[in-house]
Structure 1
């Protein structure tokens, strides 16, 4: 299972992912998992144009991502697995996606969200899903960029 990084980032494929995380992880494929985006052909093309040379981008829904892993589609690639929301990651884990760890990179803002680390905000619902993911033996940590220190989920939840 050569997933080199699993990241939750509501902006999906953007500057930090392309210029920093792909390089840091030596990824040669980004698999963006988002149900809405998997149905939006125009936005898929926009994201694919953002890919650096030598990095393949695939966009799929949760079920297709799980099937791809089960079928060994990640085996010969260095995959950066990217989720738009905690909810979709939680759904994937519940349905059998196997992961070692998860990096929370950005979840957006909103009235019920509290800043917990640099530019990362959490609400109680996302925190509960992340705790359940961690209870399955998957390490969850928060980190915006490679240069910024990571934070354990339990430390972030204390700030809610």
Structure 2
């Protein structure tokens, strides 16, 4: 797989992803990696409807991504991977899916989470997953759209004193 963008955004496919990111990355295919969405036929249908007509999309489980990666099925295909959480990204990386960089686009606020930007809220589990990804040498960059300046997520986490060392 020619992974052009790996993005964490709990909305998965939406306007920004469908237009700005697909154009900026030149992708041919979007793989939404979510066990929950893959087992929800309505959600799968809606996510596919949000995909631009020129791009193929699939909603798959984490295990299916691992199998595809190992099989070489999409070798040479320009792909965007979309995840809802850093824990899901960490799980596939630990299973052998090679990622260089992860873009963090949106993680909504809920009870127990702390806002680190106006569109990213993290709890301790999120922070621990991001720390493990960073320790594996994976770049963690924050941008909503390609034109935004890259911000290092680990710097934001340190600034907000979310690391419990």
Scaled by the length of structure 1, what TM-score is found?
0.93
Paired position in structure 2 for 1:38: 38
- SS of the residue corresponding to residue 131 of structure 2 reads helix
Equivalent-residue separation in structure 1 for 2:108 and 2:73 (angstroms): 30
Residue pairs, 1:27-106, within 5 angstroms: 27-106=27-106
Equivalent-residue separation in structure 1 for 2:42 and 2:10 (angstroms): 18
- SS of the residue corresponding to residue 81 of structure 1 reads strand
Paired position in structure 1 for 2:16: 16
Residue 153 (structure 1) shift: 2.2
Equivalent-residue separation in structure 2 for 1:6 and 1:141 (angstroms): 10
- SS of the residue corresponding to residue 80 of structure 2 reads strand
Paired position in structure 2 for 1:147: 147
Paired residues, number:
160
Residue 74 (structure 1) shift: 2.8
- SS of the residue corresponding to residue 53 of structure 1 reads coil
Residue 85 (structure 1) shift: 1.3
1:115 and 1:150, CA in 2 relative to 1: closer, same or farther beyond 3 A?
A: farther
Residue 117 (structure 1) shift: 2.8
- SS of the residue corresponding to residue 57 of structure 1 reads strand
Any unmatched runs of 5+ in structure 2?
none
RMSD: 1.3
- SS of the residue corresponding to residue 46 of structure 1 reads helix
- SS of the residue corresponding to residue 129 of structure 2 reads helix
Paired position in structure 1 for 2:124: 124
Any unmatched runs of 5+ in structure 1?
none
Residue pairs, 1:110-121, within 5 angstroms: 110-121=110-121
Scaled by the length of structure 2, what TM-score is found?
0.91
1:157 and 1:75, CA in 2 relative to 1: closer, same or farther beyond 3 A?
A: same
